[in-house]
């Protein structure tokens, strides 16, 4: 390594600067960040024998069972004057089992086995996994899930319920990835899992660790990978059952003073420059991968980590100066570089996703290029755009050019996960897309036994179109929060004082999909076929779309991606016969997905036996074109019958 961090040689920095020359003025910032990263790696090698050993610290910290069934407890609590273990095994005696103080703020306690040779503290046996991890999918279709609400009943649902009743639905829908929320143990159920109290524990409210392991194993057997929603951006303030004041001080694991407090989240902020904090967090990632065999992580709160201001009061205009300089928390940034480097080195098919609203350049570029090493970032502007449109504009005033801009406004070479609505919109006080579109009409007018009224008709058609446009144009991966695929008709409300601790709305009504005469099944079926169509043609894994039309008057969007033609007519009343659309490859095209099909709650206006032949007539900068019929509020996907789409 060079003497100065400002003169570090980053192996492939030129690749990044050639892709985005506007980053050239910040070359020294990238060099400094990479230098700090290299320095930490070198220290890990020198002090711990490398990151492989360092991230296995969970094998010696916490509680470990020895071959003779004695137990060894080891903790880091540098400011503690004394440490004791208490629990069921000793009748909650606070002083009967003291730890012995060791070097560097570490404490140990040895407990011999019982007279019969069994451990003094009982523990459930471990489950052997049966199925290998699936290969990393080229197209990522994510089903965002919460185990506790994954049942029509108003109660805390279980891991076993998810395994037996929800996994088959996810497989049927065509999702190949599950993103699991609220798995890390948290005392406050209504926190959605984001106020973590125990980082090395799967939430016990849903069942046993073995049942979670079975869930992941069964998912793997179905070819579905499982990501953990990991919260390393902050921690619960709880002192009784959390990390806060673990050793009596306010600086164990966290920054002391205001820097260690998140003013909006009312939580504690980690000190990523601390060696033992790095050991704790990096080992935590390794533990979830090894112990439960997760396939990767969605990192929560990355924006808060990246900046000293935590994103509070910052609009992020896109000016590159916002991403460099003193406002950037380089301790956090280097931690994320380390985390990504380590998990991707140890597990080649590991997937990491960043929840970042700021647009930090190179967030999803390899560490060797000077990036932070994430595989994907969440395209957080897209759901906000759909909310704005539905709240503020009449259908005839939709600006299709602005919609297309929002869908495609992402950094070239950095992959995004597109989603039409967030899990926060499902919470009480907010609205899902289905609620914005149909509101209370969903409670009385979703039966197929009665004609659709105008509100339900509009809602069903736009719900499908919005999701397909987001899926096909918005990113390199797609995410859906559980229940939204069928337009779940009620809000999500966890038990709290304000609702008399009720579980009634802490559920997902999958039973509505199973009721044949309700239109929720039509939305479910469209979502399923949308995913299955993507699985065949692979547009998420393809380069960005070529947009040939965004006609404001006609309200029509036409684009080509993965040699598939997408046509959207958002006009509320106008249908177009003989509408000319631009095409790249010549040949015969046929309908592969049609939002207007009767089975999807449409009006069945398109003849699927129709063959569309291209003409060598250049149009909208494409060499060929063809004439199509495109009804109002309809989206159509056409594929060339003469192209092999095996991707």
Rounded to whole angstroms, what are the CA distances from 159 to 146, 208, 286? 10, 8, 22
Cα gap 226→371, rounded to integer Å: 25
Rounded to whole angstroms, what are the CA distances from 210 to 33, 176, 197, 202, 215? 41, 23, 20, 10, 9
Instruction: Find out whether 531 and 141 touch, Cβ atoms under 8 Å.
Output: yes
Cα gap 111→576, rounded to integer Å: 79
Instruction: Find out whether 256 and 250 touch, Cβ atoms under 8 Å.
Output: yes
Of the candidates 301, 223, 295, the residue with the CA atom closest to the CA atom of residue 262: 301
Instruction: Find out whether 174 and 532 touch, Cβ atoms under 8 Å.
Output: yes
Contacts of 138 (CB under 8 A, 6+ apart): 538, 540, 541, 647
Q: Count of residues for the chain?
A: 647
Instruction: Find out whether 542 and 561 touch, Cβ atoms under 8 Å.
Output: yes
Of the candidates 402, 437, 462, the residue with the CA atom closest to the CA atom of residue 600: 462
Cα gap 428→341, rounded to integer Å: 39
Instruction: Give the DSSP per-residue string, 62-78.
Output: EEEE-TTS-EEEEEE-T
Burial of 82 (C-beta count, 10 Å sphere; 0-12/13-18/19+): exposed
- Catalytic residue numbers read 300, 355
Contacts of 435 (CB under 8 A, 6+ apart): 442, 489, 491
Give the DSSP letter of residue 428: T
Q: Is 487 left (phi over 0), alpha (psi -120 to 50) or beta?
A: left
Give the pair of three-digit tokens for residue 30: 């990238």
Give residue for tokens 């070359």.
27
At CB < 8 A and 24+ separation, what contacts does 543-551 make? 544/408, 544/412, 545/408, 545/472, 545/473, 546/584, 546/622, 547/404, 547/408, 548/581, 548/582, 548/619, 548/620, 548/621, 548/622, 549/581, 549/582, 549/620, 550/400, 550/401, 550/404, 551/400
Give the DSSP letter of residue 177: E
Cα gap 450→457, rounded to integer Å: 12
Helix axes 275-291, 330-346, angle to 10 degrees: 30
Burial of 262 (C-beta count, 10 Å sphere; 0-12/13-18/19+): middle
Cα gap 476→540, rounded to integer Å: 5
Give the pair of three-digit tokens for residue 588: 């015969």
Count Cβ atoms below 10 Å from residue 429 Cβ, excluding itself: 8
Of the candidates 229, 227, 249, the residue with the CA atom closest to the CA atom of residue 239: 249
Cα gap 579→336, rounded to integer Å: 50
Burial of 320 (C-beta count, 10 Å sphere; 0-12/13-18/19+): middle
Cα gap 57→35, rounded to integer Å: 25
């Amino acid at each position: 390594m060079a003497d100065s961090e400002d003169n570090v040689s980053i192996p492939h920095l030129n690749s990044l600067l050639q892709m985005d020359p506007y980053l050239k003025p910040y070359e020294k910032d990238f060099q400094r960040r990479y230098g700090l990263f290299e320095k930490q790696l070198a220290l890990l090698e020198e002090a711990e024998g490398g990151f492989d050993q360092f991230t296995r610290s969970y094998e010696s910290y916490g509680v470990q069972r020895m071959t003779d069934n004695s137990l060894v407890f080891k903790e880091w609590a540098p400011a503690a004057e004394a440490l004791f273990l208490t629990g069921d095994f000793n009748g909650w005696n606070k002083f009967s089992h003291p730890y012995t103080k060791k070097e560097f703020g570490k404490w140990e306690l040895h407990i011999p086995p019982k007279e019969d040779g069994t451990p003094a503290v009982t523990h459930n046996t471990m489950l052997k996994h049966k199925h290998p991890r699936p290969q990393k999918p080229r197209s990522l279709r994510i089903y965002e899930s919460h185990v506790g609400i994954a049942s029509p009943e108003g109660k805390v649902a279980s891991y076993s319920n998810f395994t037996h009743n929800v996994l088959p639905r996810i497989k049927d829908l065509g999702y190949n990835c599950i993103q699991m929320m609220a798995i890390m143990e948290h005392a406050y159920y209504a926190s959605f899992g984001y106020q973590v109290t125990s980082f090395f524990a799967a939430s016990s409210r849903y069942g046993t660790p073995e049942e979670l392991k079975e869930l992941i194993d069964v998912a793997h057997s179905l070819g579905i990978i499982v990501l953990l929603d990991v919260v390393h951006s902050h921690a619960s303030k709880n002192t009784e059952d959390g990390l806060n004041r673990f050793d009596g001080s306010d600086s164990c694991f966290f920054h002391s003073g205001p820097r260690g407090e998140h003013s909006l989240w009312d939580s504690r902020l980690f000190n990523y420059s601390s060696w033992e904090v790095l050991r704790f967090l990096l080992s935590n990632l390794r533990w979830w991968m090894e112990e439960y065999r997760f396939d990767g992580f969605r990192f929560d709160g990355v924006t808060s980590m990246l900046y000293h201001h935590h994103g509070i009061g910052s609009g992020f205009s896109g000016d590159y100066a916002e991403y460099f300089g003193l406002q950037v928390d380089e301790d956090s940034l280097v931690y994320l570089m380390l985390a990504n480097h380590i998990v991707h080195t140890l597990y080649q098919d590991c997937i990491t996703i960043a929840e970042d609203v700021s647009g930090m350049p190179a967030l999803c570029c390899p560490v060797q290029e000077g990036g932070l090493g994430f595989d994907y970032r969440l395209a957080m502007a897209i759901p906000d755009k759909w909310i704005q449109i539905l709240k503020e504009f009449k259908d005839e005033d939709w600006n299709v050019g602005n919609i297309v801009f929002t869908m495609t406004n992402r950094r070239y070479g950095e992959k995004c996960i597109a989603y039409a609505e967030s899990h926060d919109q499902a919470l009480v006080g907010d609205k899902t897309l289905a609620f914005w579109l149909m509101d209370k009409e969903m409670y009385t007018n979703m039966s197929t036994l009665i004609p659709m009224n105008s509100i339900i008709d509009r809602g069903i058609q736009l719900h499908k179109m919005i999701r397909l446009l987001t899926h096909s144009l918005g990113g390199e991966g797609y995410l859906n929060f559980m229940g939204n695929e069928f337009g779940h008709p009620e809000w999500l409300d966890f038990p709290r004082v304000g609702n008399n601790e009720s579980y009634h709305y802490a559920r997902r009504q999958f039973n509505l999909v199973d009721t044949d005469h309700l239109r929720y099944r039509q939305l479910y079926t469209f979502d399923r076929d949308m995913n299955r169509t993507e699985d065949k043609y692979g547009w998420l894994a393809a380069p960005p779309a070529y947009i040939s039309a965004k006609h404001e008057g006609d309200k029509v969007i036409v684009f080509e991606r993965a040699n598939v033609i997408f046509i959207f007519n958002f006009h509320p009343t106008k249908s177009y016969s003989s509408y000319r659309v631009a095409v790249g490859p010549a040949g015969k095209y046929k309908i592969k997905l049609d939002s207007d099909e009767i089975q999807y709650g449409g009006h069945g206006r398109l003849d699927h036996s129709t063959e569309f032949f291209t003409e060598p007539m250049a149009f909208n900068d494409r060499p060929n074109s063809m004439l199509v019929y495109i009804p109002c509020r309809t989206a159509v996907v056409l594929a060339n019958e003469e192209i092999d789409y095996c991707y």
